[in-house]
Amino acid sequence: MLLILILLFSPTVSGQTQRVSGQKKSGMCACEVNSTVWSFPTVKFESVQEKVETCEASLNNLGAQVLQSSQRLPQIENQVLNMTARLEPFQYLHDRGLYTDLTLRLLGQEMSQLQTEITVIHSQLNNSQTKRLTKEVGKLHKDVQKMQTSDSVNMKTVKEKLRYLKNNVESCKSIPKDFKGQHRHCLKGLITNFSDPITTKVSPYTTKYISGSWGMQAQMDSDGEKSSYWVQPLVSSDIYGNTMRVYQTYKDFMASVNHKDVTLAPSQSHANSVEGPSAVLYGEALYYHCYRSADVCRYDLKTNTVKRVTLPGTGVGFNNKFPYCYYDCRSHSDVDLEADETGLWALYASIGNHGNLVASKLFWDNTTQTVNVSQTWETKLFKKSVTNAFMVCGVLYATRYVDESREEVFYAFDTATGKEDNSLALPLQKVAKGVASLSYNPNDRKLYMFNDGYLLAYQAFF
């Protein structure tokens, strides 16, 4: 009986005793006892055992990582020491401005990789050694970045000084020895204003073709085509063309009669076809941007022959690399042919001048029958930030979009002095939004605009 009582009052697995009531039967005490409370918790045991095994595997894996990191740490420490030693000569060169930006960039990339690696190891070990290495690598990386920034600034300063000196040299060359003020109205300074459009006409090819160029014979004292007006449309995707239309007088042009159609190339994809809205009729020839090249073409209206010249510069933009693009990019307007009192010009951009506008002076050598480039100026005006540009008295003017009915001449670069002026605000009224081409004519001092198929002309005032 004592044994039964001990069993009945022994604690259960949960730590509680079980109390049961008994009944006296046949001189004996009988009771029912639930023995399941003492059964072994198999399911819980297996769950705990699984967690222990998983934890053991994780600990083994972490131990292996720590071991690997510990083994790698001396190597990284040696790399940091090596980087420090390699940085010392760069610091020496940096103080004297003799290092190259490319070398520093390569070192900077290597430093970034090392910094990433030490960060991972520091997150694993997090001891004094990894903290020290993290700090050292971070300091070295900042030093390299500082040197790169300093180098970039120094290089830009040098390049800007070089551009300024080159422009001054070109400006000196542009003054002839027998200069007597041939173009005296140019001595009046910059343009002060423009009239409202005094000519407004729909292109003879209709407004279906939104790109092209037009104007009047631009060579002063020309022997031929003295009062000719011309229109050159881009009829293939508003990019390419191979024809032009010539009118002998302004009256014929306005009445759209007595014209002559000229075929400049056998097809719109021929090497001598026109690319982009950029042509100018100068003397007895049409000058334009040659198809998919960095060349200027000269089509002789008398002999029907084409001569070419390659524009100078590193990475001259063509095939829509540097189009006019202030608000709505004018496709393939990379090379812009212009004329003024001083002669012929090509306006374009190059990689060598960081996509900024370049002005090259062109001339036709009648003796050698070649087109040549005599001088080149580099501006600081990014070509894609303007709508269009033109030349007047050796000064490059640039326009920008104001709204669908107005343009604004906002910039001028004087090739005679190398000076720039960003303070202009000369309005130009438009009929349509887009400006395909904009050219000045020194004979009548008018500005000619191809305005999405509309032909507009403005009087310039000095």
| Among the listed residues 202, 205, 246, the one whose alpha carbon sits nearest the alpha carbon of residue 227 | 246
Mean of pLDDT over the chain: 82
The pLDDT of 443-462, averaged and rounded, is 94
Supply φ then ψ for residue 396, to 5 degrees.
-90, 125
Sheet holding 295-300, edge to edge: 280-282, 285-289, 295-300, 306-310
The percentage of residues in the chain with a pLDDT greater than 70, rounded to a whole number, is: 78
What is the C-alpha to C-alpha distance for residues 358 and 360, in angstroms, rounded to an integer? 7
Q: Six-digit token pair at 85?
A: 């030693």
CA atoms within 13 A on the CB side of 396: 31
pLDDT at 221: 76
What's the pTM?
0.68
Residue extents of the structural domains in the chain: 62-171, 188-461
Say whether pLDDT at 101 is over 90. no
The pLDDT of 383-390, averaged and rounded, is 95
Q: What is the Cα Rg of the chain in Å?
A: 41
pLDDT at 173: 64
pLDDT at 455: 96
The model's pLDDT over 12-42, given as tens digits with 9 standing for 90+, comes to 444 556 676 777 777 777 776 665 555 666 6
- Residue showing tokens 């996509």: 355
What is the C-alpha to C-alpha distance for residues 318 and 199, in angstroms, rounded to an integer? 32
Q: Do residues 267 and 289 touch, judged by C-beta distance below 8 A?
A: no
Say whether pLDDT at 267 is over 90. yes
In CATH terms, the fold of domain 62-171 is Methane Monooxygenase Hydroxylase; Chain G, domain 1 (1.20.58)
What is the C-alpha to C-alpha distance for residues 450 and 277, in angstroms, rounded to an integer? 9
pLDDT at 174: 61
What is the C-alpha to C-alpha distance for residues 174 and 160, in angstroms, rounded to an integer? 21
pLDDT bucket at 430, cuts 50 / 70 / 90: very high
Q: Which of 40-49, 168-177, 215-224 has the lowest mean pLDDT?
A: 168-177
The pLDDT of 91-103, averaged and rounded, is 51
Burial class (CB in 10 A: 0-12, 13-18, 19+), 320: middle
Q: Do residues 231 and 205 touch, judged by C-beta distance below 8 A?
A: yes
Highest mean pLDDT among 164-173, 225-234, 452-461: 452-461
Q: Bigger pLDDT: 279 or 73?
A: 279
What is the C-alpha to C-alpha distance for residues 249 and 239, in angstroms, rounded to an integer? 28
The model's pLDDT over 285-301, given as tens digits with 9 standing for 90+, comes to 999 999 999 999 999 99
Q: Bigger pLDDT: 259 or 189?
A: 259
- Which residues are registered as beta bridge partners of 358? 348, 378
Q: Which CATH number fits domain 188-461: 2.120.10, 3.40.50, 2.60.40, 3.50.40?
A: 2.120.10
